[in-house]
Structure 1
Amino acid sequence: MIRYAKPATLDEALTLLDETSWRVLAGGTDFYPSQGNRPIRENILDINGIVTLRGVAENETHWLIGARTTWADIIRQSLPSAFEALKHAAREVGSPQIQNVASVAGNLCNASPAADGVPALLVLDADVELRSSEATRYLPLADFILGNRRTARRPNELVTAIRVPKTSAAGTSGFVKLGARRYLVISIAMVAARLVIEDGIVQQAAIAVGACSAVATRLSHVEKALVGRTLDGSLADIIQATPMPQLAPIDDVRGSAAYRLDAAREIVARAIQAAACQSPQREVAA
């Protein structure tokens, strides 16, 4: 017999996870379209009744994004400038109706290579909080998403939060998405960039690309190439000359691998420029 449960507390949910296997349901914006007209054959654990899993908070060391926090919540939340890429990505997650119910953790657990929220969280050095009835553990986001539709979550665990270290919530950020049309489209490629600029010089750089590999990934070569540079007219030359071995796009209906590689370099430059233009140092220099 298929079971449906809607626990009101986290402890109740974790107890249920110990009993049998469940499909965890949050916003449902990925679950229902993929289900189509097929009958449901999995036990459903609906976590929408757990109030404590929704919202954004901070402690001494981290910003904490509850697993049920929606993309609309992110858009409305007052956050440091380093989160601007995440806010921009939130506005790209479907329509406003989708943003009102789709959860941040659900976007990660669905583990689509084209998930808009992942690059923006990668440049914030985010990690994932996983809880079971026995323990709590934390995984860097890069280690949590293992591949297309695959994560490191264990059957008895629930993603309860996404954490951003306050040391990484520094600087300014930008997000650029390439799609076949302007709105309501799955990404051909997307880039998030976060920069810390002092006296016109890049002190820190974090760049992540999605939809160009099985898992969204940081571009360490580009990051290293930017540190110590001024973001002047040589930016395009730096991007063109720097290797991006992490990228391994595929051919699909949205674009060829070759197109994605060319496009990635262009939107990397645009995302870096978007982040730089928010910097107070950049604005003064202009």
Structure 2
Amino acid sequence: MYTNNLQYARACLLFAQPTRLDEALDLAARNRPIVLAGGTDLMVGASADLGPGPVLDISRVAELKGIAITEDSVVIGGGTTWSELVAADLPHGFDGLKAAALEVGSIQIQNRGTIAGNLCNASPAADGVPPLLTLDAMLEIQASGTRRSMAVGDFITGNRKTLLQPGELVTAIRIPRQLAEGRSAFLKLGSRRFLVISIVSVAALLVADGYRITAARVAIGACSAVAKRLPELEAALLGRSFDASLRSIAKAEHVAGLAPIDDVRGTGGYRKDAALQLIREALLAVVEGRAGGMA
């Protein structure tokens, strides 16, 4: 007879649902399982030889849940769901991330899907990635006995590819308060109003000292293998007046380095044109205090 969940999981190697982080990390190190957080993408992305497991369900690990605001950071547990993020009382710098959260599938998906799961799934069209890029988000990654940090922009390396190593879990997302106190927006272009994969998505975050821009972040999703920031545009926005004239700063050359694909949702050329228009609208939305949503 097995005395606890951990012993049973080690023995059967099929499915485990630990309630403590140390248990989850131990199982991840020993069994190299498929990790289930919210479960919204598990079967969609599973290969034909998925077989009977092992599956490590971390959805009941309390240490991966919740949002904490410290003196210098906002820390989001990796297992925090999109609905929990939307309901949280957070600074305006998170308005864009909240707007993206409301575009992650249906309300049922938002209730189950987690922020770390969205990152580890590493879809080029993932709605959560561009706003996290604009927030300079850092990931806290743990394995049994080790811990490291990594920027979101470094973590995702390609379509469905990350630098997460076997045995590691993304335990939290840490965001500096300086950017969290800015203003932000997120816009998404899709083929219909609801339940749609992005053709293009744009996140923008601006920090102003009085009437001048002191920090600017703009990121584009679904226009390259990984979501990207636009550093040339960000530099051009610095020192500008925080008003509607910001729309005119965005130029075609700022999106020239994107490499969108042609697919059933749109051509690469269409995506580049749409990206420029969405950038302009996202900057205006920030100025006007609108969080964004579907374009």
The TM-score, its normalising length taken from structure 1, stands at 0.92
Q: Match of 1:159?
A: 170
CA distances 1:135-171 after superposition (whole Å, capped 9, x unpaired): 1100000011111001111101111011111122121
Q: Distance in 1 between matches of 2:137 and 2:61?
A: 23
Q: Does 2:69 align with 1:51?
A: no
Q: Match of 2:80?
A: 69
Aligned-pair CA distance for 1:122: 0.5
Structure 1 residues 157 and 37, CA gap change in structure 2 (3 angstroms): closer
2:130 aligns with one of 97, 119, 131: 119
Q: Does 2:45 align with 1:34?
A: yes
What code does the residue aligned with 1:276 have?
A: V
Q: Distance in 1 between matches of 2:136 and 2:288?
A: 22
Q: Match of 2:255?
A: 244
Q: Does 2:71 align with 1:60?
A: yes
Structure 1 residues 70 and 225, CA gap change in structure 2 (3 angstroms): same
Aligned-pair CA distance for 1:35: 3.9
What code does the residue aligned with 1:129 have?
A: E
User: What pairs with 1:201-220 in structure 2 (closer than 5 Å)?
Assistant: 201-220=212-231
Q: Does 2:276 align with 1:269?
A: no
SS in 2 for 1:114: coil
Runs of 5+ unmatched residues, structure 1? 280-286
Identity of aligned residues (%): 49
**Mean CA deviation greater in 56-65 or 178-187:** 56-65
Structure 1 vs Structure 2 CA RMSD: 1.8
Aligned-pair CA distance for 1:187: 0.2
Q: Distance in 2 between matches of 1:37 and 1:234?
A: 52
Aligned-pair CA distance for 1:45: 0.6
**Mean CA deviation greater in 4-13 or 225-234:** 225-234
**Mean CA deviation greater in 200-209 or 100-109:** 200-209
Q: Does 2:98 align with 1:87?
A: yes
Q: Distance in 1 between matches of 2:116 and 2:243?
A: 37
Q: Is the 8 A contact 1:205 1:226 kept in 2?
A: yes
Aligned-pair CA distance for 1:236: 4.0
SS in 1 for 2:186: strand
2:184 aligns with one of 149, 173, 191: 173
Q: Does 2:286 align with 1:259?
A: no
What code does the residue aligned with 1:277 have?
A: E
SS in 1 for 2:131: helix
Runs of 5+ unmatched residues, structure 2? 1-11, 291-295
What code does the residue aligned with 2:266 have?
A: G
Aligned-pair CA distance for 1:232: 5.0
Structure 1 residues 231 and 241, CA gap change in structure 2 (3 angstroms): farther
Q: Does 2:200 align with 1:189?
A: yes
SS in 1 for 2:179: coil
Q: Match of 1:284?
A: none
Structure 1 residues 18 and 199, CA gap change in structure 2 (3 angstroms): closer
Q: Is the 8 A contact 2:247 2:281 kept in 1?
A: no
Q: Distance in 1 between matches of 2:144 and 2:46?
A: 29
SS in 1 for 2:195: coil
